[in-house]
Homo-oligomer: A and B are copies of this chain.
């Protein structure tokens, strides 16, 4: 692992405005998070020639940092008046967030107009899950679906001795308000299960890494642990000896880590054990763990990602998209208060385009968290520049209960995502994938923020000059040219009209139109010589549309009203079906694939303009990845177009070359 990693959005330069000011820290409480605030300010003022004082009285300070217990725990107020900026925060963590709010503001934080701004996180839970394995897994490696080198926590079976990268990561996350981190893969293997037992000292050390940044740590646990670790004959959640075993484990963990967050559970899913083995349901399972954690204030994140992964492809009646709703909607109201049901944003699995999961509308009496995927499993694996901000913003602002109802962000009580970092020197493999991590955290704080502004903010922090000068406009323009519409570009050359999973089985990179068509995974497009798509209507299909509340239920049901971008997710149509823009489905497939592949060439070209304006190593890395994106996008274009040309027999209306 490179010791000297890229600073992401916290280069020294980002602290110039604060660091060149006179800063007073007047914290009425003392804890390790206040220590972090103190360290940040001291470092910044030392670097940039400002002044740092502590104490109750201000005399000629430009920035005052205070804790005000009268405020809500998570909130902070920034008050600019009389030439001074004052941050009052409801807690030490909020003070850290407030400090970074000022850092992000730069000179504007001091020179802007007077006024009061109150900041309060929209999501109480702002969490990153790490699918890191302690032992290198035979197939999945050190980090499952990790595209950024090794784990920053573990190396070949052990917690790293040197946790400096983890510390830097914790600092980065704390700066943007992340307050929870899952420490291990939701697929819990043998060694990882022992984090709960004899490897608990590893958890203690990681908790010490994250605590100074206002972040609690969580463990993914195996539902079978009472048997595999505890030697009990069963893991039945209604068995008192099983309950007692979990209670003892919770007590152990909290003795070692008093501010431990809780458990993350993937149960009865893709081979992981769960309550079904005992004829119990997922409320039984989740509540058992919740009751073990409750005395200590802990929380269970129980994933709703439950479906039959040994489906027979011949069976057209089973629909994986329906599974989570079928399993969880009937349980609404039965989960304890410290259970959070964690729902993937779509009904399938982090595809480039899916409708929002109807589970989110069906659990009014349950605490929910929305799960996103920052690691780009199905969106280019950090080989492709794909900024997911627009996708997430669209999901978060979606009014699932109808136009007058709340947004998905308003329904959810938390936002969780699989992280994309690793031991890579740029953290994320593709340096521009840092923008996804940043955007996720900022949207978790403020889901209704303008994502374009978030991207711009990230650019400003990450690409400012070493002397703190503003980012070179050429660099800024180039990054916008590449990233702004990169998600839709990726959609263009990969996943037409809501079709997903046309990827190589196993690793999920690159095209394979029929790769998942005859597998047990429930992921089909049903393309034949006449048409393509999955009929999920109530009238003639799997009935999935019926899981939605109105108006979506009817809107998705009808060919007249279903949005084009989800057409093939909900309907099987002939290739000649005409979209709302007047194009046929087959011509749309051709057009978008030609267009998307061509746009990747524009991306690569746009990047050449920044040569010499960004550090050489970063330039080269991005250039290499863009070249791979161009290659792979053309492979997608040709395979998808050829497949559908062969199937449909329809030539391209514009006479372009299809092989």
Chain A interface residues (CB < 8 Å from chain B) = 313-314, 316, 511-515, 517-518, 527-530, 638-639, 642-643, 645-649, 659
Measured between beta carbons, the chain B residues less than 8 angstroms from A511 are 518
Is B314 a contact partner of A529 (Cβ separation < 8 A)?
no
Is A529 a contact partner of B646 (Cβ separation < 8 A)?
yes
Question: A529 with B638: in contact, given A511-B518, A514-B514, A518-B511 (CB under 8 Å)?
Answer: no
Alpha-carbon separation in the docked complex, A646 to B572 (Å): 14
Measured between beta carbons, the chain B residues less than 8 angstroms from A647 are 528-529, 646-647
Alpha-carbon separation in the docked complex, A130 to B600 (Å): 47
Is B528 a contact partner of A518 (Cβ separation < 8 A)?
no
Alpha-carbon separation in the docked complex, A513 to B313 (Å): 14
A568 to chain B: closest CB distance in Å?
16
Measured between beta carbons, the chain B residues less than 8 angstroms from A517 are 514
Q: List the 10 shortest-distance A-B pairs measured between CB atoms, nearest first.
A: A528-B646, A514-B514, A529-B529, A314-B659, A518-B639, A529-B649, A529-B647, A314-B638, A529-B646, A647-B647
Question: A648 with B529: in contact, given A314-B638, A314-B659, A659-B314 (CB under 8 Å)?
Answer: yes
Alpha-carbon separation in the docked complex, A528 to B529 (Å): 8
Measured between beta carbons, the chain B residues less than 8 angstroms from A639 are 518
Among A313, A528, A643, max chain B CB count under 10 A is at A528
Of chain B, the residue at the smallest CB distance from A511 is: B518
Q: What are 21 residue pairs bridging A and B, where the CB atoms are less than 8 Å apart in the complex?
A: A313-B659, A314-B638, A314-B642, A316-B659, A511-B518, A512-B514, A512-B518, A513-B514, A514-B514, A514-B515, A514-B517, A514-B643, A518-B642, A518-B643, A528-B645, A528-B647, A529-B529, A529-B648, A529-B649, A530-B649, A647-B647
CB-contact partner of A528 in B316, B513, B514, B649, under 8 A? B649
Measured between beta carbons, the chain B residues less than 8 angstroms from A649 are 528-530
Of chain B, the residue at the smallest CB distance from A647 is: B529
Of chain B, the residue at the smallest CB distance from A649 is: B529
CB-contact partner of A527 in B316, B528, B646, under 8 A? B646
Alpha-carbon separation in the docked complex, A642 to B513 (Å): 16
Measured between beta carbons, the chain B residues less than 8 angstroms from A316 are 659
Measured between beta carbons, the chain B residues less than 8 angstroms from A528 are 645-647, 649
Alpha-carbon separation in the docked complex, A1 to B639 (Å): 46
A230 to chain B: closest CB distance in Å?
33
A518 to chain B: closest CB distance in Å?
5
Measured between beta carbons, the chain B residues less than 8 angstroms from A527 are 646
Alpha-carbon separation in the docked complex, A314 to B638 (Å): 8
Of chain B, the residue at the smallest CB distance from A640 is: B518
Alpha-carbon separation in the docked complex, A638 to B316 (Å): 14
Of chain B, the residue at the smallest CB distance from A658 is: B314
Alpha-carbon separation in the docked complex, A65 to B124 (Å): 92
Measured between beta carbons, the chain B residues less than 8 angstroms from A530 are 649
Measured between beta carbons, the chain B residues less than 8 angstroms from A646 are 527-529, 647
Of chain B, the residue at the smallest CB distance from A639 is: B518
Alpha-carbon separation in the docked complex, A231 to B528 (Å): 57
Measured between beta carbons, the chain B residues less than 8 angstroms from A513 are 514, 518
A265 to chain B: closest CB distance in Å?
32
Alpha-carbon separation in the docked complex, A646 to B530 (Å): 8
Measured between beta carbons, the chain B residues less than 8 angstroms from A313 are 659
Alpha-carbon separation in the docked complex, A314 to B518 (Å): 24
Measured between beta carbons, the chain B residues less than 8 angstroms from A515 are 514-515
A645 to chain B: closest CB distance in Å?
8
Alpha-carbon separation in the docked complex, A17 to B176 (Å): 87
Alpha-carbon separation in the docked complex, A643 to B513 (Å): 13
Alpha-carbon separation in the docked complex, A316 to B659 (Å): 9
Of chain B, the residue at the smallest CB distance from A657 is: B314
A427 to chain B: closest CB distance in Å?
27
Of chain B, the residue at the smallest CB distance from A513 is: B514
Measured between beta carbons, the chain B residues less than 8 angstroms from A643 are 514, 518
- Known A-B contacts: A518-B639, A647-B647. Give 18 more (CB < 8 A): A313-B659, A314-B638, A314-B642, A316-B659, A512-B514, A512-B518, A513-B514, A513-B518, A514-B514, A514-B643, A515-B515, A518-B643, A527-B646, A528-B646, A528-B649, A529-B646, A529-B649, A646-B647
Alpha-carbon separation in the docked complex, A551 to B512 (Å): 41
A536 to chain B: closest CB distance in Å?
18
Of chain B, the residue at the smallest CB distance from A530 is: B649
Among A313, A518, A529, A643, max chain B CB count under 10 A is at A518
Measured between beta carbons, the chain B residues less than 8 angstroms from A314 are 638, 642, 659
Alpha-carbon separation in the docked complex, A329 to B518 (Å): 42
Alpha-carbon separation in the docked complex, A125 to B512 (Å): 44
A573 to chain B: closest CB distance in Å?
15
A20 to chain B: closest CB distance in Å?
54
Alpha-carbon separation in the docked complex, A512 to B647 (Å): 17
Alpha-carbon separation in the docked complex, A379 to B518 (Å): 21
Alpha-carbon separation in the docked complex, A528 to B527 (Å): 12
Measured between beta carbons, the chain B residues less than 8 angstroms from A645 are 528
Measured between beta carbons, the chain B residues less than 8 angstroms from A659 are 313-314, 316
Of chain B, the residue at the smallest CB distance from A528 is: B646
Alpha-carbon separation in the docked complex, A514 to B515 (Å): 8
A659 to chain B: closest CB distance in Å?
4
Alpha-carbon separation in the docked complex, A316 to B642 (Å): 13
